[in-house]
Amino acid sequence: MEFEPVIGLEVHAELLTKSKMFCGCPTKFGAPPNTQTCPVCLGFPGVLPVVNKKAIEYVLKVAIALNCRINRHTIFERKNYYYPDLPKAYQISQKRLPLGYDGWLEIEVDGEIRHIGIADVHIEEDTGKLIHGEEGGFEFSLIDYNRSGIPLVEIVTKPEIRSLKELEEFMVALRQLLLYLEVSDCKMEQGSLRFEASVSLRPKGSSELGTRVEIKNLNSFKAVLGAVEAEIKRQQQLLMRGEKIQQQTMLWNEKLRITEPMRTKETAHDYRYFPEPDIPPIVITDEWLENVGKNLPEFPKQRMQRFVEQYGLPIQDAKLLTASKASADFFERCVSMLQQPKTVANWMLTEIQSLLHDDQIGWEDCPLKPEQLAGMLKLLNDGVISGRIAKSVLEEMYRTGKDAQTIVNEMGLVQITDEAQLRPIVDRVIAENPDAVEKFRKGDEKVLGFFVGQVMRATKGRANPQIVNKLVRELLKGR
């Protein structure tokens, strides 16, 4: 029998608010442990939470962008369980009345457009972070409460993802959207974006859902894809043997590339949700909703299409440039200063992209500014520097933050266009290479390139190649 996988995702993204969900503590990543805490986020008895309005606004943005319906009257609820990373022994979340529900996100797989249903978009608070270690034969666990109480958006899909390809596209599109909305930095290596996947199989063509297995704590696209692939295989083998799938929660073992049970049958968790008595219901007024809706940014797909129309870029370039909001913004800022879209696109997608790639960072963290690129390209246009020098200037700008003109002045990189200055160098190169001169005499024009290359080398790339070309011809003919 042939089986079809059914996949659902639960996504947690930390919101980019300056302060936490229910207190004024800062949310900056990387501070020394337990320095960003207070009685509220440490769960002391008797303290009162105060809702962060910005966080609600951010989740509202996400819900609207995911085409959700909005619960205009909503409440917070307590999800009760005890764990060392949860000092209150409950998490403030939303269950019955999520801020957003019943939406969709568009993805494209092999040229085909699909809408993946979104069941639920809600707010909750993050837990602290447990750090397990070992020293001198002793195992220990440490806890950092800096993360405790950072606002999260949880996005739950309907079980409508049908393949690994769709799964990957969905994650890429969702991350792209969250970055465009500027509600999360989505840094998976810092835990700002985390996934849980549910997987079941069913006979191909069936419309019923099979028993699902949930895989927790997936912290990268790679982990999600690896875990889901392994889980599909595992279930397939069980079903082929005529066995039943047990509903359970698994963890991904990246080393062995298998999913392993975390909790087995026991009793299913009962979180005893009940309304949070310390927070009044939230009312989303018409005015608030309208305001948030009006201030949404242009979405990736629209921006991509506009780049093609407005700047005459090839679709592929437009796609790459709008893949992140940061690169799209960089591009438009640069083009506003130098009206050469294709040139700017080329430099961004080759030279700068490769510098970013070497440093393993994204456009969000690009140290180079659009002003610097525009300045350098102007020098190139004006013939102040040669194309070859331009690349080194770019790298120097990227590393030092200086502008192109400063670098050119400091390093003496100004292009040599003065024939009187270049002629003796060409002369010398010709004198040093009698064999090549002989070849030229016998009609081999290819050696022209060799001479030009030698002159460029002698001038460390500063000579103007057109003028060198002309001089080489002239001086060779004169021989």
Applying CB under 6 A, among 52, 71, 93, 200 the residue interacting with ligand ADP is: 200
Phi, psi of 36 (to 5 degrees): -115, 65
Q: If binding is defined by CB under 5 A, does position 38 make contact with Zn ion?
A: yes
| Least gap, CB of 379 to ligand ADP (angstroms) | 53
Are the C-beta atoms of 163 and 126 separated by less than 8 Å?
no
Q: Tokens 């999600």: give the residue.
A: 224
Q: If binding is defined by CB under 6 A, does position 175 make contact with ligand ADP?
A: no
Element housing 216 (H / E):
strand 213-218
Q: Which residue is nearest to ligand ADP (CB)?
A: 8
- According to DSSP, the β-strands at 112-125 and 213-218 are unpaired
| Candidates 17-25, 157-165, 187-195, 357-365; binding stretch for Zn ion (CB under 5 A) | 17-25
Query: Quick one: what does residue 38 bind among ligand ADP, Zn ion, none, with the CB cut-off 5 to 8 Å set by partner type?
Result: Zn ion
Q: If binding is defined by CB under 5 A, does position 55 make contact with Zn ion?
A: no
For Zn ion, how many residues bind (rule: CB under 5 A)?
Answer: 5
For ligand ADP, how many residues bind (rule: CB under 6 A)?
Answer: 15
Q: If binding is defined by CB under 5 A, does position 335 make contact with Zn ion?
A: no
Tokens of 1: 């029998």
Q: If binding is defined by CB under 6 A, does position 6 make contact with ligand ADP?
A: yes
Q: In one letter, which amino acid is 396?
A: E
Applying CB under 6 A, among 93, 148, 192, 198 the residue interacting with ligand ADP is: 198
Q: If binding is defined by CB under 6 A, does position 333 make contact with ligand ADP?
A: no
Applying CB under 5 A, among 15, 25, 156, 179 the residue interacting with Zn ion is: 25
Q: Which residues pair with 91 in a beta bridge?
A: 79
Q: If binding is defined by CB under 5 A, does position 23 make contact with Zn ion?
A: yes
What is the phi-psi region of residue 296: left when phi exceeds 0, alpha when psi lies from -120 to 50, beta otherwise?
beta
Phi, psi of 33 (to 5 degrees): -50, 140
Query: Quick one: what does residue 41 bind among ligand ADP, Zn ion, none, with the CB cut-off 5 to 8 Å set by partner type?
Result: Zn ion
The binding track of 252-271 with respect to ligand ADP, each residue x by CB under 6 A or -, is --------------------
Tokens of 256: 């062995």
Applying CB under 6 A, among 158, 187, 423, 439 the residue interacting with ligand ADP is: 158
Applying CB under 6 A, among 209, 240, 315, 411 the residue interacting with ligand ADP is: 209
Degrees (nearest 5) of the Cα angle 322, 328, 331? 130
Applying CB under 6 A, among 212, 303, 325, 462 the residue interacting with ligand ADP is: 212
Within 8 A by CB and 6+ apart from 68, the residues are 100, 101, 102, 103, 118, 121
Give the whole-angstrom CA distance, residue 441 versus residue 478.
11
- Among residues 25 and 376, whose Cβ is nearest to Zn ion? 25
Distances (CA, A) of 368 to 152, 327, 349, 380, 428: 31, 11, 14, 17, 40
| Candidates 17-25, 47-55, 152-160, 347-355; binding stretch for ligand ADP (CB under 6 A) | 152-160
Tokens of 70: 């909005």
Give the whole-angstrom CA distance, residue 150 versus residue 7.
28
Beta-strand ranges (E) seen in 110-175 are 112-125, 129-135, 138-144, 151-157
- Among residues 14 and 160, whose Cβ is nearest to ligand ADP? 160
- Among residues 209 and 262, whose Cβ is nearest to ligand ADP? 209
| Candidates 32-40, 201-209, 393-401, 409-417; binding stretch for Zn ion (CB under 5 A) | 32-40
Q: In one letter, which amino acid is 27?
A: T
Give contact residues for ligand ADP (rule: CB under 6 A): 6-10, 156-159, 198-200, 209-210, 212
